[in-house]
């Protein structure tokens, strides 16, 4: 089998890239290790930057999002019981869209199926070959038979543990990472959100986040120690602990109910440089991980898609394949800005085993930042998403 662009991974970044390329006539095939149902079962983020929303519109998959998504003009931060609202619209001029990543993935799957573009699910033993040459290929096993996909370029959208980044020689890539000493225990329930906007809480008992997926489905998170087990947390224990970390007036409005899903996610920062090698390009979690505190994971992946899509257009439609050499440089500028922002949000909003001096510094940093219009503007600009770089 031959194609122009082989895409490894049918998560939102792989599907979005495939949809955009298909719409401009660039042939592509998506390979995915899991089944479609498994991909849709993964519970992920629900905050979309304005740039991600614009890209979904460009891809022609925004109809359901426009109808079911919810525009948020701000969010609140509680520190030591005092609330500060970050006025996203007033400070940055734009807003965010609350719309679940599962729904984004479902919309993209539907669009790809409707267009008849090729997606091959439940493949095994995916291996990349000759990625530094002009004729790379991907081999895989499907239904017990080994297959070969020849292509011009490979887009690695296969996550942190996928084969794409592993295919780059160790001496040609540098990795930066940081592991945080806690995780997020998340619970999703069919209950009305406690408020119409998101709430971030720095409490002596630990961080908490009140989020949502819709007007009738809530998503809540609690900071828990590294190594904590989800089976130690009954629904009742979760709700009781969340109430302990909420301000009394907010806790009084909390609607509880049986969990649809509970899980613990470790907090991890990671960047691989460069994000390309030969004719292989890394996107999303294959190249970088951010803590979820700043809602950047899916949005960073979308900005990678934006860059690679426009550079592939130049390569194919404008006959400028040399433009693709700019991919890593373009993406990493935005990646490190997002890493900085999520590191800052994580550092200020979570409870660490600080010495007294460091604890006072954290409290002072939060008080100064939330009391400064200039600093709140910086938060707002980063939260709604820095402008996507123009690719001429």
Which residues carry out catalysis? 72, 200, 292, 296, 383
Helix ranges restricted to H, the chain = 12-23, 36-41, 50-58, 63-68, 88-92, 101-115, 163-166, 235-245, 248-251, 297-316, 327-349, 356-371, 373-384
DSSP for 234-281 reads -HHHHHHHHHHHS-HHHHTT-----EEEEEEEEEEEEEEE-SEETTEE
**Closest of 282, 32, 31 to residue 156, by C-alpha:** 282
Output the six-digit token pair for 143.
């239904």
d(CA 368, CA 143): 59
φ, ψ (nearest 5 deg) of residue 151: -160, 175
**Closest of 176, 174, 178 to residue 277, by C-alpha:** 174
**Closest of 133, 114, 164, 173 to residue 6, by C-alpha:** 164
Angle between helices 327-349 and 373-384 (to 10 degrees): 130
Contact by Cβ (8 Å): 278, 136: yes
d(CA 223, CA 209): 9
d(CA 13, CA 285): 9
d(CA 124, CA 248): 51
**Closest of 372, 259, 392 to residue 330, by C-alpha:** 392
Strand, coil or helix: 319: coil
């Amino acid at each position: 089998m031959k194609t122009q662009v082989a895409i490894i991974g049918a998560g939102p970044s792989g599907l979005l890239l495939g949809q955009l390329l298909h719409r401009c006539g660039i042939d592509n095939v998506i390979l995915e290790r899991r089944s479609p149902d498994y991909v849709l079962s993964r519970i992920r983020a629900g905050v979309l930057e304005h740039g991600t929303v614009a890209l979904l519109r460009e891809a022609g998959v925004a109809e359901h999002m426009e109808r079911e998504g919810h525009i948020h003009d701000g969010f609140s931060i509680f520190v030591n019981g005092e609330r500060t609202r970050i006025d996203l619209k007033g400070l940055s001029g734009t807003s965010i869209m609350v719309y679940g990543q599962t729904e984004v993935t479902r919309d993209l799957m539907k669009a790809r199926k409707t267009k008849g573009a090729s997606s091959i699910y439940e493949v095994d033993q995916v291996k990349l070959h000759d990625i530094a040459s002009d004729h790379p290929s991907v081999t895989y096993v499907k239904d017990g038979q080994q297959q070969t996909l020849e292509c011009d370029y490979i887009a690695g959208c296969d996550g942190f543990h996928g084969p794409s980044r592993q295919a780059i020689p160790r001496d040609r890539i540098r990795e930066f990472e940081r592991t945080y000493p806690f995780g997020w225990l998340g619970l999703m329930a069919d209950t009305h959100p406690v408020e119409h906007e998101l709430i971030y809480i720095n409490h002596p008992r630990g961080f908490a986040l009140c989020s949502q997926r819709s007007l009738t489905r809530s998503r809540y998170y609690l900071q828990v120690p590294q190594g904590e087990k989800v089976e130690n947390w009954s629904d009742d224990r979760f709700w009781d602990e969340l109430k302990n970390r909420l301000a009394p007036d907010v806790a009084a409005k909390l609607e509880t109910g049986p969990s649809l899903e509970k899980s613990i996610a470790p907090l991890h920062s990671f960047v691989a440089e460069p994000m390309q090698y030969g004719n292989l390009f890394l996107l999303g979690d294959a190249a970088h991980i951010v803590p979820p505190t700043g809602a950047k994971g899916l949005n960073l992946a979308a900005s990678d898609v934006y860059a690679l899509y426009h550079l592939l257009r130049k390569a194919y439609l404008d006959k400028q394949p040399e433009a693709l050499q700019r991919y890593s440089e373009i993406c990493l500028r935005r990646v490190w800005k997002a890493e900085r922002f999520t590191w800052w949000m994580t550092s200020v909003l979570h409870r660490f085993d600080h010495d007294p001096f460091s604890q006072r510094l954290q409290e002072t940093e939060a008080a100064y930042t939330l009391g400064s219009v200039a600093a709140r503007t910086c938060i707002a600009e980063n939260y709604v998403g820095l402008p996507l770089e123009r690719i001429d």
